[in-house]
Amino acid sequence: MSVNFNGMPRKNRRRKKRVVPLEKVPSHRIRLVFFIFCLSLLGLSGRLIWLQVLQSSVLEARARAFQTHLTKPLGSRRAIVDRTGRLVALDEERFRLWVHPRYFNFPGDDPSLIRKPIDVARKLSGLLAMPMSEIVTRLGDRPSGVKLAEDLDHETATQIRKLGISGLDLEPYPQRVYPQGPLFGNVVGFLNHDRIPQAGLELSLDRQLVRHEIPRTLRRGADGTPLPDDLAPGFFYGDDLRLKLTLDVRLQELAMKALAESVKRWDASKGVAIVMNVNNGELLALASTPTYDPNRYWKFSPSLFREWSVQDLFEPGSTFKPINLAMALQEGVIWEGGLVDDTGRIDIGGWPIHNHDRAVNGVIGYPKILQVSSNVGMVKTMRRLKPSVYWDWLHKLGLDSRPHTDLPGAVAGQLKSREKFIMQSIEPATASFGQGFSLTPIKLAQLHAIIANGGYLISPHITRGLHSEAPVTVTAPEENIRLFSEEVTLTIRNWMESVVVDGSGKGVQTPGYRIGGKTGTAQKALNGVYHPGAKICSFVATLPIEDPKYVVLVVIDEPKGEDAFGSTVAVPVAKEIVDGLLVIEKIPPTTKTKDFSLSKG
């Protein structure tokens, strides 16, 4: 027996291990476990097939919904710019503020806390420039969907977002803005509150001005990184096209100011000023007064929403005399050195026709007829042209047809029927000094452009088409129909220059420049009856005569006063426009001035 260190016997602490005899597992138990295992695999396989095959499209759609960001187009429109690129119309992003009081909560608040409307009104009052009491009143006891403000600019919207207040929703939308205000109101038009075009180019070119926009979708990863796959065609396309005008803001502003001052001074009903490039038909200015501000269209009469220079008819009077003389020259019934006996009065079909000043000018040449604006001289001149040929020329010039132009609302003039014109001798007689028919101011400018450019009928227009922000290359105009020969138009231009040198157009003289012109003072008719004292004063200038580039037309409707004539009313306006045009277009002065001392007779 063993003993411990105390001398005591040591017990045997070893225990015998329990031995479990192996037993054979029943076969039914193994089969049960195997069945359960197989059933589990079958269930997992079935679930996998259900998810991967049968539910794959649904799950993929859910994933795409979480991964995909959809941006809907706002329905914006293309900008409109003048010939130098200055903005005339554009879309600015504005915001509506919707509030949902049941979600009012400030940053750092307990998520379950709902702030009172007065707390939110205190923070919004300064940004919206609205009293807190008014904000609270508008919110009332409505729990959601209250439109608190609109027409908020981007800066104000950013400040509202920085507040971080739950329950505030900013809805972006485009707002049409016209930076030039009334300057182009008569031409560009406007959109109403529902963004529906109502007038001008906004209406006539609506389809071209709608910006190319498509709904944009972009997949993002879990961290927000854009995924490059599955992008829709045209996703990165940016529509930067703008409608480019031929008009010049500087010249338009100058013309509008001069025109408005004249209309006010003479207490006239309205006025128009047109500057046209005679070689390609581009309009550099198309100013009308009275006009309106398209940014505040609701404050103006709808009667102002039309451009009367292309929509209203008037009898041109003496400004049409150079066109008549061109017809006679082209037909060979008169010649450059021809003379006419101006007796001061002539009877046609029982109707007496006088000169405007009742003067008897005697035997005079055609330059003198234009200088003194002789009605009798014109009647005798045009009687040399057969009435049938005369009418055919008026028709060929397009007096009774709508001019081919992009100006919205352009209308045709009015011309007596061919039969009446031929049968009634008074008709060609009155037409010889610009009465008995009517046309629009834009048509009159187009006809004078024929004289200026060597005989070609061109189409007046105010747009150059859609362009990107890259510089615009102006292509040469297509060949137009020629109506008068170069020799005829050169002769007429020289006669018109004599009007500025020695006639009623002296007021437009500019030292160093050769300018041609013709004044007009026509009686105004209503329903075929001429009203005493009601008249239309006009003046047309062509410059520079030696190499014409521009026609300037000014028409003032119903100026008041005994001394209201084309020379006193319209010429001063044209003078201001011409002076500005010479500077803006950098037209060099003429080296030699023509002497008319031998052509006054």
Q: Which class for 578: exposed (0-12), middle (13-18), buried (19 or more C-beta within 10 A)?
A: buried
Residue written as token pair 């390609």: 280
Residue written as token pair 């919206």: 128
Would you state the structure tokens that stand for residue 308, as one six-digit string? 């009367």
Pairing of strands 80-81, 87-99: antiparallel
| Catalytic residue check, 318 | yes
> Strand, coil or helix: what is 347?
strand
Distance of CA 78 to the CA centre of its chain: 10
Residue written as token pair 């990863």: 221
Q: Which class for 513: exposed (0-12), middle (13-18), buried (19 or more C-beta within 10 A)?
A: buried
Residue written as token pair 């009623």: 504
Taking the C-alpha atoms of residue 304 and residue 448, their distance in angstroms, rounded to an integer, is: 27
Taking the C-alpha atoms of residue 178 and residue 297, their distance in angstroms, rounded to an integer, is: 11
CB 359 within 8 A of CB 372: yes
Listing DSSP states for 359-421 in one string gives: ---EEEEHHHHHHHT-HHHHHHHHTTS-HHHHHHHHHHTTTTS----SSTT----B---HHHH
Pairing of strands 242-245, 80-81: parallel
DSSP structural state of residue 100: -
φ, ψ of residue 481 in degrees (nearest 5): -70, 130
What is the SS3 string spanning 264-310? HHCCCCEEEEEEEECCCCEEEEEEEECCCCHHHHHHCCHHHCCCHHH
Would you state the structure tokens that stand for residue 71, as one six-digit string? 């941006």
Taking the C-alpha atoms of residue 335 and residue 328, their distance in angstroms, rounded to an integer, is: 8
DSSP structural state of residue 53: I
In 11-48, which positions are buried (b, 16+ CB within 10 angstroms) versus exposed (e)? eeeeeeeeeeeeeeeeeeeeeeeeeeeeeeeeeeeeee
Residues 6 or more apart whose CB falls under 8 angstroms from that of 268 comprise 262, 556, 557, 558, 559, 560, 569
In 163-176, which positions are buried (b, 16+ CB within 10 angstroms) versus exposed (e)? eebbbbbeeeebbb
The catalytically annotated residue of 76, 318, 504, 538 is: 318
CB atoms within 10 A of CB 131: 11
Residue written as token pair 């004249």: 262
CB atoms within 10 A of CB 417: 11
Q: Which class for 271: exposed (0-12), middle (13-18), buried (19 or more C-beta within 10 A)?
A: buried
Listing DSSP states for 471-529 in one string gives: PPPPPPPPPPEE-S-HHHHHHHHHHHHHHHHHSTTGGG--TT---EEEEEEEEEEETTE
CA angle 471, 476, 477 (to 5 degrees): 125
Provide the annotated active-site residues. 318
